[in-house]
Structure 1
């Protein structure tokens, strides 16, 4: 009877899977549309959950420190409101870090933008001087242009038409961008408020979640699910911490080398690269491009030196620092960190690079545990 029941259960599962596959293949576009609409509707809450997950790292750390206070006087009050205090402190710390980063980056960008007209003017004068010093070359160019029979009036009218049409399109784009920005701001504010509620009531929410699981599922399965969720939470938290450490190390390496080589904007570019390198691979490349743009305005030769510095430091980071620190923080060997970055980037782009490393780590730990259990059951011990 027990065997027949297991067979019936497996047949029922196969029938349900076959039905779901049929629905999926038949109504794929509609299903994708429903998922997109659902994601758009729930985006503020998803964003709030992501913010809460990231902020939970400093909140938990600060809360543990506050709970070590004395049980008398002010210490008793601090312990009682430790969660609220840790949430407020965490928000102020994050805001302070962003304010410090932007206070270093933005003034230098404004200064460089102010230098652009002067740099362009100097380059134009230098080019004009070179043309004037080569009178034969300039006269040949003028004759060549005149002999080409170009209708300059027609070209001017087309350019004017493109400019006016472009101004109209730019105006519409500005209105659309302002509307999108306002909508994104409202969603972000809702996400932050939702994250505060999650952080303030995380213990209650955790207990309620466990009650629901135990009420509708077998205890063994719930225990297994909770172990996987705990491992996933620990892995993602360690990954975020490791990523921040790598970013700080990378920024310091750039700052020290740029100071030694007397490259301009050392502090600003180091902070920029360190900040953007939170995004694996792509972030530091964006920081490098912005750094080159800033340095080339001052000294093109030093911009070439900076490129060489970037290539050398990136090799050290990619092959030594990143796999070692991030790999250790998530319990994933260096080779699989590189595989996770590659596959994640190919699959989901920047988000995939960030998500795939901790996901690979969870899968690696679970698979390793299962492998050892099966080897032990078979009485095998492989060196």
Structure 2
């Protein structure tokens, strides 16, 4: 009887699986279209959940500080409304940071774009003059270059055309992105409102969620799910906090060294590297590339010095700062960090790079725990 029940159960699973595969192979495009429509419909709420998670990190810290206030006078009022006050402070702090970063980067980019044609022409003339008047080059090399019939003016004009055409395309792309951003403003506002509601009622929502799970599932399974969710929340929070701290440290280090070396665009490039360093591994490299291009237009020698400075600071970050600040909190070996970044970038771009590291960390911790339990059950010790 027990055997027949098991066979019926497995048969039912196979039938459902076969039906699912049939639907998937034959109606894949329709299924994807439905998922996209559902995603677009729920996007403001998904965005609100993401905003709530990010806001909750500083809000939780601020709320703890507010709860330590006195029980008398103004302290009593602060403690009573600590949740609301912490949400408001966190929201305006994050908005203020974005506004500050934009006010530093955008005007400098506009100014650089305005002087770029003149700088390019001056650099081209200086380079051509150096080529014509440099006596250190071997006569044979000069003759060889001349015999090749290289038209330097034509080369510079083509390079100039390519750069400015690319700049025009970039400008159009920026305008298109700005238009898309403007059309998504309503969704963003809805997401922010939803995030504030989540944070304001997170305690009651958490209790309702637990009641729902315990009502329809076994206690052991619910305990396991809640443990995984707690681990996930802790890992994501530690990762985001660690990335922000590392980014701030890098920005400060670059600013101090660039100011000491009297490099152009010191503040802008430092803020740019700080902002992009939120993206693990690749962010600071992108910031470095942009910094080299900007400095190169003003002073090619200092661009080379900046590149050397970046490589030195990057070594300090990789060997001392990142392992101490982020590595210990996430607990993911370097090779899996690289795998997480690669897969995340392929699937979801920059957002995937940021999300996949803590996701891999959670999976790594859970898998390691399960492996140790199974090895202990088999009385095995692998060295």
TM-score, length-normalised on structure 1? 0.82
Which residue in the other structure is 1:257 paired with?
257
How far apart are 1:367 and its partner, in Å?
Answer: 1.1
How far apart are 1:84 and its partner, in Å?
Answer: 0.4
Whether the 8 Å contact between 2:123 and 2:297 is mirrored in structure 1 is no
| CA 1:7–1:266: 2 relative to 1, 3 Å | same
Q: Structure 1 stretch 189-198 or stretch 9-18: which is displaced more?
A: 9-18
Query: Is 1:350 matched up with 2:368?
Result: no
| CA 1:3–1:200: 2 relative to 1, 3 Å | farther
| CA 1:179–1:92: 2 relative to 1, 3 Å | closer
In 1, Cα distance between the equivalents of 2:261 and 2:95?
A: 32
Q: 1:182-239, CA deviations, whole angstroms, 9 ceiling, x for partnerless residues?
A: 3111211111111111111111111111122122222221111111111111111111
In 1, Cα distance between the equivalents of 2:300 and 2:222?
A: 62
Which residue in the other structure is 2:294 paired with?
294
Whether the 8 Å contact between 1:66 and 1:82 is mirrored in structure 2 is yes
Q: Structure 1 stretch 353-362 or stretch 255-264: which is displaced more?
A: 255-264
Calculate the aligned-residue CA RMSD, in Å: 3.4
Which residue in the other structure is 1:279 paired with?
279
Whether the 8 Å contact between 2:120 and 2:297 is mirrored in structure 1 is no
How far apart are 1:315 and its partner, in Å?
Answer: 4.0
Which residue in the other structure is 2:304 paired with?
304
Query: Is 1:243 matched up with 2:254?
Result: no
In 1, Cα distance between the equivalents of 2:347 and 2:193?
A: 31
Which residue in the other structure is 2:228 paired with?
228
In 1, Cα distance between the equivalents of 2:367 and 2:333?
A: 14
Which residue in the other structure is 1:150 paired with?
none
Whether the 8 Å contact between 1:323 and 1:338 is mirrored in structure 2 is no
In 1, Cα distance between the equivalents of 2:372 and 2:220?
A: 20
How far apart are 1:297 and its partner, in Å?
Answer: 2.7
Query: Is 1:21 matched up with 2:21?
Result: yes
Whether the 8 Å contact between 1:59 and 1:86 is mirrored in structure 2 is yes
| CA 1:46–1:221: 2 relative to 1, 3 Å | same
Which residue in the other structure is 2:186 paired with?
186
SS in 1 for 2:69: coil
| CA 1:112–1:218: 2 relative to 1, 3 Å | same
Whether the 8 Å contact between 1:274 and 1:284 is mirrored in structure 2 is yes
How far apart are 1:303 and its partner, in Å?
Answer: 1.1
- Matching of residues 325-364 of structure 1 within 5 Å: 325-364=325-364
In 1, Cα distance between the equivalents of 2:32 and 2:328?
A: 37
| CA 1:354–1:132: 2 relative to 1, 3 Å | closer
| CA 1:132–1:334: 2 relative to 1, 3 Å | closer
How far apart are 1:132 and its partner, in Å?
Answer: 11
Which residue in the other structure is 2:122 paired with?
122
Query: Is 1:30 matched up with 2:30?
Result: yes
| CA 1:337–1:117: 2 relative to 1, 3 Å | closer
Whether the 8 Å contact between 1:323 and 1:334 is mirrored in structure 2 is no
Q: 1:72-103, CA deviations, whole angstroms, 9 ceiling, x for partnerless residues?
A: 22222111111100000001211222233233
Whether the 8 Å contact between 1:251 and 1:270 is mirrored in structure 2 is yes
| CA 1:121–1:204: 2 relative to 1, 3 Å | same
- Matching of residues 1-383 of structure 1 within 5 Å: 1-2=1-2, 4-123=4-123, 180-318=180-318, 320-383=320-383
Whether the 8 Å contact between 2:277 and 2:284 is mirrored in structure 1 is yes
Q: 1:112-136, CA deviations, whole angstroms, 9 ceiling, x for partnerless residues?
A: 2343244245346658979999xxx
How far apart are 1:56 and its partner, in Å?
Answer: 0.7
In 1, Cα distance between the equivalents of 2:304 and 2:216?
A: 64
Q: 1:239-286, CA deviations, whole angstroms, 9 ceiling, x for partnerless residues?
A: 111111221222233223323433222222112101111012332233
TM-score, length-normalised on structure 2? 0.82
In 2, Cα distance between the equivalents of 1:175 and 1:359?
A: 34
Which residue in the other structure is 1:158 paired with?
none
In 1, Cα distance between the equivalents of 2:322 and 2:342?
A: 14
How far apart are 1:353 and its partner, in Å?
Answer: 1.5
